Chain A
Amino acid sequence: MQPLLEVHDLKVHFPIKKGIFSRTTGYIYAVNGICLHLDPGETLGIVGESGCGKTTAGLAILNLIKPTSGSVCYEGRDLAGISKKEHKALTREMQIIFQDPYSSLNPRMTINKILSSPMEIHGLYKGARRQERIDHLLEKVGLHPEQGKRYPHEFSGGQRQRVGIARALALNPKLIIGDEPVSALDVSIQAQIINLLIGLQKEFNLSYLMISHDLAVVEHICDRIAVMYLGKMVETAGFKQLYTNPKHPYTQSLLSVVPVADPRHKRKGNMLSGDVPSPIHPPSGCYFHPRCPRRMEICSRQAPELKEAGPGHLAACHLCG
């Protein structure tokens, strides 16, 4: 089966400019060579701490940020080489849901207008069919068609996120990238949106790329998970292997520090000390070695490659493979 999306050695480096001539004095290595693939109907999760490059990776896959190098192939076609017109056609198939439902909807547009814009741009659903389509979308995401006449400020955070989801669905996409779609929502609303996303995926056979820092949410939604650290992928595996048998020390520590809603639960395992290093001056060798509880002499010299640690399970660590 041809993967829907294939990302190979994707790099995004942001130049740091200084002085009156804006000379480039260095780079922020936001995404530093990641590889992933996504099959039709599958959900891939990207997890990591803030600043690990997960959002940048998502934006680069959509070509909303120009990648520095590497390739993003959608259904076998490399996005870097295509014309503007072809790219516009492809945006119909790839949509995004943003984190903040407050800043991602135009406050001066009604919900109807927000949902009709993508169809207008692509010249779809003309005439009376457009309003039908909007009403249908609103119903699908659990809102009333009459609410389409209202403005974003009249809705709660959860309802706004439903509008954001309806907008992403408007063009019948195959791939939806969710950039922390539930992390701005309250706990009781989070479950509603997670259930909605899972239901819509089954109904429309969508592929999801879910970017999140919440390991429990990612486990619940995703089939496969990629863990990122400082712009690199450190481990990728199916959800079952990753949560029951994590191989990389970073994944292990990450899983051990998630607070559990049980007062008798005691944290065990390795507690990470210190902060994530700056992506401007990443450490030598393995990026994780200054914080790693199991570092060896080789780790500061040589960066480990992603190696097979089990079936469908890759880890970038000298301890594995």
Chain B
Amino acid sequence: MNMKVKPNTNLLDVKGMKIHFHSSEGVAKAVDGISFHLDRGEVLGIVGESGCGKSVTAKSIMRLIPTPPGKIAAGQIIFDGTDLLKLSIQQMRRIRGNRIAMIFQEPMTSLNPVFTIGDQISEMFILHRGLRRKQALEQAVEMLAKVQIPEPCKRSREYPHQLSGGMRQRAMIAMALACDPQILIADEPTTALDVTIQAQIIDLMLQLKEDFHTSIIMITHDLGVIAEIAQTVAVMYAGKIVEQAPAVDLFDRASHPYTQGLLKSIPKLGRRAAKGRCDLSEIPGIVPSLYRLPQGCSFYPRCEKAHAVCNSLMPDLHSVSEHHRVRCWLYADKGKRKD
């Protein structure tokens, strides 16, 4: 009777989610049964190549998958105790932008070119907080100041095309954080930016995470960016999570042949200057089509360590240590490698 329910630190719990796209070519299994969770104040990185399903995963949390052709075929997205997939459109609207916000790769195409930056940010306050336009605009200027845009008052009256790429991304972040969301989903937020601006945006996101106590889901193809920002990492390949681990473990003890291959295939800054040129190891072949995934493990046609079982059965996620899980037959026997 006195048993108190332990406060759940899980803010977001995605369970067995499958997202399929139907087209004349057949069914593309863009996301094929993935599960992950996000703690309060955590930064989760989702990394993978184009077409691995990382953006679709992000959009599905916001319920932004166009239906048809897309369909969430199975799974649950539990946010703070409620399943987002069961909410009505009106209920979802109250969450979207308010409690879960998202920023996108291309800040030019995700801002509306015919409204000023101030108008677009103040819309958040009018819609979710019920403020009047004047107050909302004041709040918008305050948000622009928080994302370190110089002359926020003047900038709030400008249109997106008058801002530089880095500035637009700051404005996007200001809009996303306007209502103090619990989760910020960032889909390749720095990919379109130069390295010097990228570093500024990453620092800004990390600082705002502390100030606003926001959890972040960072989606990117860049392992360097992941290493800078994420505490835990999920590596995706062909719609599945193939490796999941705390960032330090993942980079120190990458266990899935795909993750190992990825880490070995990127040239490291300063390595040639220090040690001379070593060959980049390449992952042979290409990512399989989502319409015609190979039987068994999706990675086996490109895998150096493939053996008989790999082409007939998809492996489960096996634990190699606490919190470190790998979808590979090499680790099927309680973390012991069988090669």
Contacts and interface: CB of A to CB of B under 8 A. Distances in A.
Interface of A: 49-50, 156, 158-159, 186-192, 194-195, 213, 215-217, 219-220, 239-240, 242-244, 253-255, 257-265, 267, 271-273, 275-276
A276 B263 CA distance: 31
A219 B224 CA distance: 16
A187 B49 contact: yes
Given A219-B273, A257-B199, A261-B251, A195 B164 contact: no
The 4 A-B pairs with the shortest beta carbon distances in the complex, nearest first, are: A259-B224, A243-B273, A191-B265, A257-B199
Interface in B275-316: 277, 279-284, 286-287
B225 interface: yes
A191 B282 contact: yes
A263 B166 contact: no
A158 B282 CA distance: 12
B75 interface: no
A239 B247 CA distance: 31
Contacts of B230: 263
A50 B194 contact: yes
B320 interface: no
Nearest to B261: A188
Given A186-B287, A213-B195, A258 B227 contact: no
B221 A186 contact: yes
A206 B104 CA distance: 40
B125 to A, nearest CB: 27
Contacts of A240: 273
A244 B270 contact: yes
B267 interface: yes
Given A187-B266, A260-B227, 8 more contacts: A49-B195, A156-B286, A188-B262, A239-B272, A257-B199, A259-B224, A272-B196, A275-B167
Contacts of A262: 227, 251
A263 B195 contact: no
B227 A259 contact: yes
Nearest to A239: B273
Nearest to A253: B196
Nearest to B265: A191
A234 to B, nearest CB: 14
27 contacts: A49-B195, A186-B49, A187-B223, A188-B262, A188-B265, A188-B282, A188-B283, A189-B286, A191-B265, A194-B280, A213-B195, A219-B272, A220-B277, A239-B272, A240-B273, A243-B273, A258-B224, A259-B202, A260-B224, A260-B269, A261-B226, A263-B228, A263-B230, A263-B248, A263-B251, A271-B200, A272-B199
Contact of A244 (B202, B225, B273): B273
A284 to B, nearest CB: 20
Contacts of A255: 269-270
Interface in B220-263: 221-228, 230, 247-248, 251, 261-263
A262 B226 CA distance: 9
Contacts of B265: 187-188, 190-191
Given A188-B262, A258-B224, A260-B227, A49 B287 contact: no
B195 A215 contact: yes
Contacts of A265: 227
B199 A271 contact: yes
A259 B198 contact: yes
A267 B166 CA distance: 19
B82 interface: no
B228 to A, nearest CB: 5
B268 interface: yes
Interface of B: 49-50, 164-167, 194-200, 202-203, 221-228, 230, 247-248, 251, 261-263, 265-274, 277, 279-284, 286-287
Contacts of A188: 49, 261-262, 265, 282-283, 287
Contacts of A271: 199-200, 203
Contacts of B196: 49, 253-254, 257, 272
Max chain B C-beta neighbours (<10 A), residue from A156, A254, A259, A271: A259
A28 to B, nearest CB: 15
A219 B248 contact: no
A260 B263 CA distance: 11
A272 B269 CA distance: 19
A257 B203 CA distance: 11
A185 to B, nearest CB: 9
Contacts of B277: 220
A263 B247 contact: yes
Nearest to A244: B273
Nearest to B237: A188
Given A220-B277, A243-B270, A257 B195 contact: yes
B267 A216 contact: yes
A184 B71 CA distance: 29
B269 A219 contact: yes
Given A257-B199, A259-B227, A263-B251, A220 B194 contact: no
B187 to A, nearest CB: 16
B280 A220 contact: yes
A275 B150 CA distance: 11
A267 B272 CA distance: 20
Contacts of B287: 156, 186, 188
A159 B75 CA distance: 36
Of A217, A254, A257, A267, most B-chain CB atoms within 10 Å: A257
Given A50-B194, A186-B287, A243-B273, A261 B266 contact: yes
A273 B200 contact: yes
Nearest to B262: A187
Contacts of A220: 267, 272, 277, 280
A2 to B, nearest CB: 27
Nearest to A218: B267
